[in-house]
Structure 1
Amino acid sequence: MSSPKVAFLYPTTTQNNQGVSKPVLVYDFPELPFASDIHFQAYFIGFKHDEPYWISYQLFKEDSRPTSPLLEKGVWLRARGEKDDNDLSAAAGLSLGEFTFNESGHYFIKATIHHNNAPLHSQNSYFKVELVNE
């Protein structure tokens, strides 16, 4: 049996009226500060059937000190399969909500799986914020 892991995650943006999410590497803003909703997809492996896991997710600026999160949220997730399944996969579209970016640079989202109040595994996903005219 494997322990639960964050397989991967990436920031997304909605680019059409149908609400289809697309991966995003660089957020190009016309000016700073600029407010934008931060969405991302997260994928997990190693979940046990019907076991609750707390997924915390945070936004950081890579070069900021101290390393406290700029935003922080969380959600409960359960994977469902057969009663004895101990290696299920799960996916979630998550949102940190609106955030005002005050400066360009490298940012990252950190997702952590918690079980019984203990962190089990974390993964980071990086993206860039820049001015369109830079």
Structure 2
Amino acid sequence: MTTEKIAFLFPYHKSEGNDKLPMLLMETTELPVTVDVFFQVHFLGLEHSKEYWFAANLYREEDGLEISMSGEKGVWIRAKGYPGSKNTLATSMGMHFERCKFESEGDYLIGTSLTKDGILIHEAHAFFSVSKVDE
């Protein structure tokens, strides 16, 4: 079993002070709405200086199916720790999907995967909901 994993991820709102507030519900006064969707991802057990491919996709759920809204977005990552250390290497990063168009209320998810040497080693998901509210 591999030690490398996506420990957790979460979509977030940016506060006026630039704090990252976890987003369970995105409220909007109009639909459709086009916004950037920001998320934070945390990893455990990565190997020092080893390259990994991290990929993410934004989906809407419809009739039990996951329909891509963003296309895959990915980035090469390389964690840096202390060679020979017995401690697990923990790291994190932020990403976002630009100009996502939400046309309806409902549940959405961010699906992610971590690949090493061309082999999928871990996947994780985070869900949030979009709701239209009166002004």
TM (normalized to structure 2)? 0.89
Deviations 1:72-114 (A, max 9, x none): 2011111111123473111011111220101110000011101
2:98 counterpart of 1:97: yes
Take 2:60 and 2:67, find their aligned partners in 1: how far apart are those partners?
A: 9
Query: C-alpha displacement at 1:68, in angstroms?
Result: 4.2
| Percentage of identical aligned residues | 30
Query: C-alpha displacement at 1:44, in angstroms?
Result: 0.6
Take 1:82 and 1:33, find their aligned partners in 2: how far apart are those partners?
A: 48
Q: Identify the residue that residue 121 of structure 1 maps to in structure 2.
A: 122
Take 1:57 and 1:11, find their aligned partners in 2: how far apart are those partners?
A: 12
Take 2:73 and 2:129, find their aligned partners in 1: how far apart are those partners?
A: 21
Take 2:98 and 2:3, find their aligned partners in 1: how far apart are those partners?
A: 29
Q: Residues 77 and 85 (structure 1 numbering): CA distance in 2 closer, same or farther, change over 3 Å? A: farther
State whether residues 61 and 67 of structure 2, in contact with CA within 8 Å, keep that contact through their aligned partners in structure 1. Answer: no
Q: Identify the residue that residue 45 of structure 1 maps to in structure 2.
A: 44
Deviations 1:7-52 (A, max 9, x none): 1000011120x32221111000111100110000100111000111
Query: C-alpha displacement at 1:62, in angstroms?
Result: 2.1
Unaligned runs of 5+ in 1: none
State whether residues 57 and 112 of structure 1, in contact with CA within 8 Å, keep that contact through their aligned partners in structure 2. Answer: yes
Q: CA RMSD in A?
A: 2.0
Correspondence 1:1-134 to 2 at 5 A: 2-16=2-16, 18-63=17-62, 67-71=66-70, 72-85=72-85, 87-133=88-134
Query: C-alpha displacement at 1:70, in angstroms?
Result: 1.4
SS at structure 2 position matched to 1:47: coil
State whether residues 37 and 96 of structure 2, in contact with CA within 8 Å, keep that contact through their aligned partners in structure 1. Answer: yes
Runs of 4+ in 1 over 4 A off after TM superposition: none
Letter in 2 for 1:77: I
Letter in 2 for 1:81: G
State whether residues 25 and 129 of structure 2, in contact with CA within 8 Å, keep that contact through their aligned partners in structure 1. Answer: yes
Take 1:38 and 1:116, find their aligned partners in 2: how far apart are those partners?
A: 29
